Amino acid sequence: MASSATNSLIFFSGLGADARVFGPQQLAFPGLVVLKWPRPQQNETLTAYCKRLAVDLPVDGHLILGGASFGGIVALHVAQFSQPQAVILIGSVRSPAELPPVVRYGRFLKRFLPLVPVGFLQWCSAPLVSKLAQRRVPYWSGLASQFRQSDPTVFKWSLARILDWTAAPKVACPIFQIHGSRDSVLPLRFTQPDAIVSGGGHVISLTHSKEVNDFIGEVLVQLTDESTSVL
């Protein structure tokens, strides 16, 4: 299921994750690019950061942005400055109103983020990346490996931007959203996706890759049909 040569699929991974979270999607769509997270500048806002990301997007053809969890939020903000054909949200939300109450009412916690010992937590997760854990709990081991290799500065900055996210960006393109029915991080009851993955948790790109790949494929077909009808 390869993506069309006329499309540039550019995705953003979630908090503490990297390109491996989209491993099954990159196999299904060889042209899919997962951008690395650049270090934020001092006191950089989410809007300023995403505007900076939009400048250097490797676009070849029609741009389609996507993201998982916080990466979906970033994709929405990048869309303000890059004129994509569409944005695909995977286990993410469209606006701050769709965040769970623990986030919306816990914004005051942002002031304590400098105290979060990210490096120590990364060290504590070492048992989860052992060979035994890789065999017994490969899913959790994979996530732990990504977290251990994440940049603590980017991690803390991303947490702060989630806590102070109060305004949804105005996006001119269509938004397509797929969500797990058992997502405990961004619960389904607070959002209204286009497609629901039965039994899916928060990282459906890995745990339910077929459903996610099929959804992306359907979006690409729909966008191609719309472009053809316009011509």
Query: For the segment 166-205, what is each residue's pLDDT rounded down to a tens digit?
Result: 999 999 999 999 999 999 889 999 999 999 999 998 899 9
Give the number of other CB atoms < 10 A from CB of residue 129: 18
Q: Is there a domain that residue 113 lies in?
A: no
For position 120, what pLDDT does the model report?
Answer: 59
**Range of weakest confidence among 57-61, 78-82, 115-119, 187-191:** 115-119
Angle in degrees, 0-180, between the axes of helices 46-55 and 70-79, rounded to the nearest 10: 70
CA distance 186 to 201: 9
What is each CA distance from 202 to 13, 162, 189, in whole angstroms? Answer: 12, 16, 13
**How many domains are contained in the chain?**
1
Residue at 111 is within a domain: no
d(CA 231, CA 223): 13
- Confidence class of residue 1 from pLDDT cuts 50, 70 and 90? very low
129 within a domain of the structure (yes/no): no
Instruction: Inform me whether the pLDDT recorded for 42 exceeds 70.
Output: yes
Residue 53 belongs to some domain of the structure: yes
The CATH number for 11's domain is 3.40.50.1820
Q: Does residue 96 fall inside a structural domain? A: yes
Q: Is residue 225 part of a domain?
A: yes
| 132 Cβ contact partners less than 8 Å away, ≥ 6 residues apart | none
C-alpha R_g of the chain: 17
What are the backbone angles phi and psi of residue 179, rounded to the nearest 5°? -145, 150
pLDDT of amino acid 65: 97
Query: Is 41 contained in some domain?
Result: yes
Check residue 181 and give its pLDDT: 96
Does residue 73 contact residue 95 with C-beta atoms inside 8 Å? no
Report phi then psi at 105, rounded to 5: -100, 0
* Assigned domain for 206 exists: yes
Range of the domain at 65: 7-105+165-230
pLDDT at 62 over 50: yes
Tokens at 214, concatenated: 């099929």
